[in-house]
Structure 1
Amino acid sequence: MSKGLRIETDPLRPETMKIAEEQLRETPERVKEATEKLRELLHADRTIHYRDDDEFLLIFLRPCKFYPESALEFMRRIAEFKKNNSDILANLMPEDERDAFVGNDVVNILKDRDQKGRRVLIVNVGGIWDTKRVSADQLFRVFYLIHEAAILEPETQVNGVVVIMNFDGMGMKQVKELGPTFSRRLLSFIQDAMPVRLKEVHFINEPWIFNMVWQLFKPLVRTKLRGRMFFHKANMTSLHKHLDPKFLPTNYGGELPEMNYTSADWFPCVEIYLDHIQKWNSYGFVNNQVKQ
């Protein structure tokens, strides 16, 4: 991919395998036992449809620490979320949001992982976000497409992701877009239906008007997620207590070169996985399957 950007589908590195064992209870024996049990449970449940090969089942077993019953319940929650949000997610393909990816820089992903091997997602919801060109629904659809690619990365499955929300220049037009519907949808996805380990969320450059948005989100944020949220305003030193500047670009007070890529450069990385995304659209409740 251009500028060295790619979806990393390589096997786990030895150091990540150790993390997987320590944090997720992942051992060869447990992987075998849990995948077999989850496959058995999935076949017995006639209401949902998913692929059942070992590699695919790991996507759900890892965030559930290899408890197959919990993984099946997770798959059901994902199906429920897709059903409840079918108005914006049904048959969603990258081409549908090409303009949001290519013509705007609202969402970006750092080329380099952080010091803990985590992917870092950048969300620019301040002045750079032209709400006339990218609506809140489109912003969520972009998130959703990115997560569909992220779940293919074994390193990300284990180490998780970090999100930096940049509110620099936020005004009333952005506040209006981040309303109750978007708030509920995003938090429902993150807390109930996202098969990626969200490790930290960092808020930076929050203006006073940000409090209007936070008052919508705050009641919906559960204790676990709230403990992973950090507010820094313009203090990059505060951010660096969590993200080592050696792994950040100068845009965020880091030591790496300034970012010379945008979501437009990441779009081809997502686009090459059309088959996976199309199949993902068909998973969920049996009576809601998309005809292939």
Structure 2
Amino acid sequence: MTHLQAGLSPETLEKARLELNENPDTLHQDIQEVRDMVITRPDIGFLRTDDAFILRFLRARKFHHFEAFRLLAQYFEYRQQNLDMFKSFKATDPGIKQALKDGFPGGLANLDHYGRKILVLFAANWDQSRYTLVDILRAILLSLEAMIEDPELQVNGFVLIIDWSNFTFKQASKLTPSMLRLAIEGLQDSFPARFGGIHFVNQPWYIHALYTVIRPFLKEKTRKRIFLHGNNLNSLHQLIHPEILPSEFGGMLPPYDMGTWARTLLDHEYDDDSEYNVDSYSMPVKEVEKELSPKSMKRICYRNFMDCQRVRERMGNGSFESIIALMPKIKFAHTLEYPFIIEKFDFINGH
């Protein structure tokens, strides 16, 4: 066990080995493989590339290096494209604070029988006069940022229960396609959390209809983990034991205190200290030059990209567009660094 695995119980260490392909003997090499790919996306400002941070993404993608890197890139790209969402990204921000106090989200004290954190949302609590749906999404993302620091949850993951009781048609009308897409991109595609199940209870017909509309935009893995229980709490209890659920979900515990998780974040004054602004996402050309050294690029091509040989064959006489077509796994931005990057690739042709 390395220091990066400190905090994991023996049971969780074994789970990480069996289910996530985590190997303490190659952990630092795995992390470096992902870090080496960062220079293939000069259009993104990777504000963190430390070992502990990259490890979250490896665990979320079962140590598939490229998939972990793609998630890492999408994580920062999402923040880069939605800068306003991440301004004042802290628990004391007025909109986030109000959403947290109304239980967006809530977190149960007990883990489920798989060691997963149980998040709860009571949809009808949304007070449109005090905060927006974007504030709710920000509060959820901030909460996940705080929770994912726990290495046990990086391995075991989360379960989400959404209670739609008394959620009105008027409230549902605010769930616009653009808002739903923002949420799907932020939670499904751009965050290193493992969701073992998403449970809808007491959903009205219009929520069921809404889910039918968005279902095609969800990944197959996500679709398989969404359960529509309606008023049948027995089916929920077959997956999450009632002994750890509050009475709102037919459980044996007292009603959930909506402010529990809010107090946790506010008491610790949790905030995401990353500088999410335009300047923080721009990488100076000199930094790109340093990172795109022939030695670095040769190592990346050799280790990480199956298409390297075809690039070697075509680099000398093909256009830059044809090179990208040959390597679909790499996504370059249309930036002023293009000619500079191409020059740094010249070593591949005949070197």
TM range (shorter): 0.7 to 0.9
Distance 1:192 1:264, change over 3 A: closer
CA RMSD in angstroms, aligned pairs only: 2.6
The more displaced of 161-170 and 255-264 is 255-264
Map of 1:202-221 to 2, 5 A cutoff?
202-221=199-218
Shift of 1:62: 0.7
Distance 1:100 1:244, change over 3 A: same
Instruction: Check the 8 A contact 1:46/1:286 in 2, yes or no.
Output: no
Which of 252, 257, 271 pairs up with 1:255? 252
Q: After superposition, give the CA deviation of every residue in 1:133-189 in whole Å (9 maximum; x if it has no partner).
A: 232111111111111112201111001111111100111221122121211111112
Question: In structure 2, what is the equivalent of residue 67 of structure 1?
Answer: 64
Instruction: Check the 8 A contact 1:76/1:284 in 2, yes or no.
Output: no
Instruction: Check the 8 A contact 2:107/2:117 in 1, yes or no.
Output: yes
Matched residues, number: 276
Return the alpha-carbon distance in structure 1 between the equivalents of residues 149 and 35 of structure 2.
Answer: 19
Determine which structure has more spread, i.e. the larger CA radius of gyration: 2
Q: After superposition, give the CA deviation of every residue in 1:58-84 in whole Å (9 maximum; x if it has no partner).
A: 111111222333222211111221122
More contact order relative to length (CA 8 Å, sep ≥ 6): 1
Q: After superposition, give the CA deviation of every residue in 1:12-56 in whole Å (9 maximum; x if it has no partner).
A: 111111111111001211312202322333367544323333222
One-letter amino acid of the counterpart of residue 281, structure 2 = V
Distance 1:93 1:264, change over 3 A: closer
- SS of alignment partner, residue 94 of structure 1: coil
Shift of 1:286: 2.9
Map of 1:175-186 to 2, 5 A cutoff?
175-186=172-183
Instruction: Check the 8 A contact 1:78/1:284 in 2, yes or no.
Output: no
Question: In structure 1, what is the equivalent of residue 273 of structure 2?
Answer: 278
Return the alpha-carbon distance in structure 1 between the equivalents of residues 226 and 151 of structure 2.
Answer: 24
TM-score, normalisation: structure 2 = 0.71
- SS of alignment partner, residue 32 of structure 1: helix
Instruction: Check the 8 A contact 2:160/2:198 in 1, yes or no.
Output: yes
Map of 1:139-178 to 2, 5 A cutoff?
139-178=136-175
Whether 1:121 aligns to 2:119 is yes
TM-score, normalisation: structure 1 = 0.85
Gaps of 5+ in 2: 285-351
Instruction: Check the 8 A contact 2:201/2:229 in 1, yes or no.
Output: yes
One-letter amino acid of the counterpart of residue 248, structure 1 = L
Return the alpha-carbon distance in structure 2 between the equivalents of residues 210 and 264 of structure 1.
Answer: 27
The more displaced of 219-228 and 244-253 is 244-253
Return the alpha-carbon distance in structure 2 between the equivalents of residues 62 and 283 of structure 1.
Answer: 29
- SS of alignment partner, residue 52 of structure 2: helix
Return the alpha-carbon distance in structure 2 between the equivalents of residues 190 and 288 of structure 1.
Answer: 26
Return the alpha-carbon distance in structure 2 between the equivalents of residues 43 and 210 of structure 1.
Answer: 43
Question: In structure 1, what is the equivalent of residue 264 of structure 2?
Answer: 266
Question: In structure 2, what is the equivalent of residue 98 of structure 1?
Answer: 97
Percent identity between the aligned chains? 29
